[in-house]
A and B are shown apart, each in its own frame.
Chain A
Amino acid sequence: MLTLTCPCCGVAAEETELAPGGEAHLKRFGPGASDEDFETYMFARKNPKGVHFERWRHAYGCGKWFLAARCTATLEVFGTYPAQTTEPPADLIARIKTRRPDWEGCK
């Protein structure tokens, strides 16, 4: 079973406690954005086979949103971090690169 550590309350939560929230770090476009930008924000997804940054909610715990880096091909969890960030923290990126040397980085 997938286990993620909630960075808000520190509990190592099992999958049944958590609600998945899809891709993280989507760039949201404001008023006056083009149709293409809005479509991309709403629907286009990286859906990578490999390293994926994603949103989770500790639904049956503290209730807070957080972010996680996980491999969709092996289900390996690289780490979790607070939702109040615009990009993954540097130490997490470094950890992923040691685990996945051929990873091309955040695109």
Chain B
Amino acid sequence: MRRYSVFAVAREALRFHQGWARAWANPEPKKRYDVVIVGAGGHGLATAYYLGKNYGIRNVAIVEKGWLGGGNTGRNTTIIRSNYLQDPSAAIYEKARSLYEGLSQDLNYNVMFSPRGLLMLGQTEHEVRGYKRTVWANNLQGIETEWIDTARVQKLVPIMNTLGPRYPVLGALYQARGGTARHDAVAWGYARACSDMGMDILQNCEVTGVRSAAGQVQGIDTSRGPIDCGKLAIVVAGHSSVLAEMAGFRLPIESMALQALVSEPIKPCMDVVVMANTVHGYMSQSDKGEMVIGGGTDGFNNYTQRGSWQHVEETVRALIETFPMLSRLKMMRQWGGIVDMTGDRSPILSTTPLGNCFVNCGWGTGGFKAIPGSGWAMAELVAKGTPGPLAAEFGLNRFKEGRFIDESVAAGVAH
């Protein structure tokens, strides 16, 4: 792989950009791999990358039904933060956030990580109390967050109406190191690095069955033929239950649609990420100038990658009160992704009833921010067969034991 650098750009500038190689290979499937990862989204590719980088396991295939990064990785609102209340979540999300800081250098691929700062608005007394508690928890966890008053919020976000009649802004939880990154670039960067390590990324390769015997996975059947594997990692977000059904077990997961939308591009007007959880909307401005807006999930099981109109309406209605200037903006695109929701709204990184099969799922509405940390922890789980400290609390057994990581209550919102 030729490294991307200023010298490479200069060299190519002198020869009509004819020398750029493909970023990743498009190989035919081999008969057998040491590890097969199902799902070439951010989490699957990151798992493969850290398997190769941290554990030297490079005979790996990443199997993808569609195209890489074409699921939730390409559909989210790209927010990165780690201001979680519970210690296990804070640890894995902070690991991810800190890996994001050096990810462009690590992958030699510009993921456009922009630590522009992130605000979570306190718009009711209860929310204020809750976020202040989170700030104290974060400080104990070693995560930099602070509670800031309305005047400082207004200074950071001049376009905000802090005196809204229903939900005035009473202050905000501020994580200065939070921000956004280019979601496609994260998938592409990991894919390029994986391909460079000799891993096979098999696109348009849908898994149709999981073959197992005596409690061990033997291999998978795919639309491009059978593939044997030493270990199987299922990292497929919305379709986790479908894959688990093939493997013969059930997960505590329900798949639902989550929507996002973007406006027409406008001049720079907001250089932080703002989340308003009481009214349930969140927004940032992309580098192109579009306002990127996300809301809540529909409440019912859904695999269609499109959501209900009233949720878009609710989200926009909520944001217009806090950002009156939005009312004149045209919305350009709206889309949906299928998120895998667990009962406690925390992810699952776990062993399964099959000895050499592992799952990484349940990231729900907040998976993008976790990609590097999730891949890091999942690689350890797959390589060693037992979870390391980051993944230990996220096992499937927590449901049986009643040991929930209750972020749905802690955050008061689907995240």
Measured CB to CB, the residues of A under 8 A from B are 1-2, 15-16, 19-20, 22-23, 35-36, 39-40, 42-49, 52, 54, 72-75
How far apart are the CA atoms of A16 and B299 in the complex, in Å? 11
Of all chain B residues, the one with the shortest Cβ separation from A50 is B303
B400 touches A39 (CB 8 A): yes
A-B contact pairs, 14 of them (CB 8 A): A1-B310, A2-B300, A16-B310, A19-B299, A20-B300, A23-B301, A40-B250, A43-B343, A44-B250, A44-B251, A45-B241, A72-B301, A73-B304, A75-B302
How far apart are the CA atoms of A72 and B239 in the complex, in Å? 12
Is B277 located at the chain interface by the 8 A CB criterion?
A: no
> Interface 1/0s, chain B 380-410, versus A by CB < 8 A?
0000000000000000000110000000000
B301 touches A44 (CB 8 A): no
A47 touches B301 (CB 8 A): yes
How far apart are the CA atoms of A42 and B310 in the complex, in Å? 30
Residue pairs across A and B with CB atoms within 8 Å: the count is 66
B301 touches A15 (CB 8 A): no
B308 touches A15 (CB 8 A): yes
- Count residues of B near A (Cβ-Cβ below 8 Å): 23
- Chain B residues within 8 Å of A52, by CB: 301
Measured CB to CB, the residues of B under 8 A from A are 239, 241-242, 245, 250-255, 298-304, 308-310, 343, 399-400
Chain B interface main SS type? mixed
Of all chain A residues, the one with the shortest Cβ separation from B314 is A16
How far apart are the CA atoms of A39 and B253 in the complex, in Å? 13
A72 touches B399 (CB 8 A): no
B399 touches A43 (CB 8 A): yes
CB-contact partner of B254 in A19, A45, A74, under 8 A: A45
CB-contact partner of B309 in A1, A54, A73, A74, under 8 A: A1
B343 touches A72 (CB 8 A): no
Knowing that A20-B300, A35-B400, A45-B254 touch, tell me 10 more A-B residue pairs with CB under 8 angstroms: A1-B309, A19-B299, A36-B400, A45-B252, A46-B250, A48-B241, A48-B245, A72-B302, A73-B303, A73-B304
A74 to chain B, nearest CB (A): 7
B252 touches A44 (CB 8 A): yes
How far apart are the CA atoms of A9 and B251 in the complex, in Å? 35
Which A-B residue pairs are the 10 nearest by beta carbons? A43-B252, A47-B241, A20-B300, A44-B250, A20-B299, A39-B400, A43-B399, A49-B303, A72-B301, A72-B303
